Structure 1
């Protein structure tokens, strides 16, 4: 593979971490979840950073961490759901690797977030109707950034590592 960095973009629960681990393994790359990288770097949970420094403080840390990771070699990076939407993060992503938007159907996002909402403070306690409305509103803002990715791939439960590698190979041949 020509490019040694693959970025996975998409909304929370799109499957970036799950498929990212599998893709990294198939490519012989390392896998890094940007949010976990930030937590380890600052010895704080994302929720604690938000609580202590607000979203602007978190987004600055996120930008700095992305810049740091953008020089790593042979790596698959799962970005946070909002990462591409702030500062010049999408430019960094596009210029330093191959970017893939895992576009996930609404029903699947709702199902995944409903099943795991206790792990995500931003959606905790929301009814299915509230959750759907929340996602629609977030995607109205975020999707134009996600769509700047090199590859747009429908992320469903049937998405395989082989599908992603085929998309990457096709992109590199263009």
Structure 2
């Protein structure tokens, strides 16, 4: 297996799917949205998996399916909770470069008006701030490249990412 994939990780609404599609077009790569792969394999929406199997069950399913994605020359957009799966993240590190799209809490709050509707994996009573604080160290741990979005446009984020990849 070649290590020629680019795996995007980060909080929900950090632009993983948007940046992923643009990046794939520019590089002539394929694009895979890991959340859609999960929905196809499970024959149900992410929100329904979380409803029926609970958060731990969802994370288990996500980890298993992510660790089985075998592709080449592909940009993979992962779900924000993918970093909870050690096997999945080890697999991703083996098949490509892991890029963390870093977004500030302020920007995130603006973009994520309704976290539940987006199928954000949050425990009962958990705040967005505590979720952010829980995940950021995991994103940083697994990232080969960190792209700080600041208040950049998606095009500027893609340009930064392309520059970082060409090093």
Q: Is the structural similarity TM-score above 0.5?
A: yes
2:148 to 119, 138, 154: 154
Which residues in structure 2 correspond to 1:41-120 (within 5 Å)? 41-69=41-69, 71-114=70-113, 117=115, 119-120=117-118
Which residues in structure 2 correspond to 1:3-18 (within 5 Å)? 3-18=3-18
- Compute the TM-score of the two structures, normalised by the length of structure 1: 0.82
* Other structure's SS at 1:147 match: helix
- Which consecutive unaligned segments of at least 5 residues does structure 1 have? 124-129
* Other structure's SS at 1:160 match: helix
Which residues in structure 2 correspond to 1:21-60 (within 5 Å)? 21-60=21-60
In 2, Cα distance between the equivalents of 1:42 and 1:85? 19
1:68 deviates by 1.8
1:117 deviates by 4.8
Cα gap change, 1:25/1:122 in structure 2, threshold over 3 Å: closer, same or farther?
closer
Which stretch of the first structure deviates more once superposed, 140-149 or 150-159? 150-159
In 1, Cα distance between the equivalents of 2:3 and 2:61? 25
**Could you list the per-position Cα deviations for residues 82-130 of structure 1 after superposition, in whole angstroms to 9, with x for gaps in the alignment?**
111233332222222100000002221111112x65742559xxxxxx9
* Other structure's SS at 1:166 match: helix
Bigger helix fraction: 1
CA RMSD of aligned residues (A): 2.2
In 1, Cα distance between the equivalents of 2:25 and 2:127? 34
Cα gap change, 1:121/1:82 in structure 2, threshold over 3 Å: closer, same or farther?
closer
- Compute the TM-score of the two structures, normalised by the length of structure 2: 0.85
* Other structure's SS at 1:14 match: coil
**Could you list the per-position Cα deviations for residues 43-83 of structure 1 after superposition, in whole angstroms to 9, with x for gaps in the alignment?**
100011111111222122211211221x2111111111111
Instruction: Kindly indicate whether the alpha-carbon contact (under 8 Å) linking 2:147 and 2:157 is maintained by their aligned counterparts in 1.
Output: no
1:160 deviates by 3.4
Equivalences, count: 159
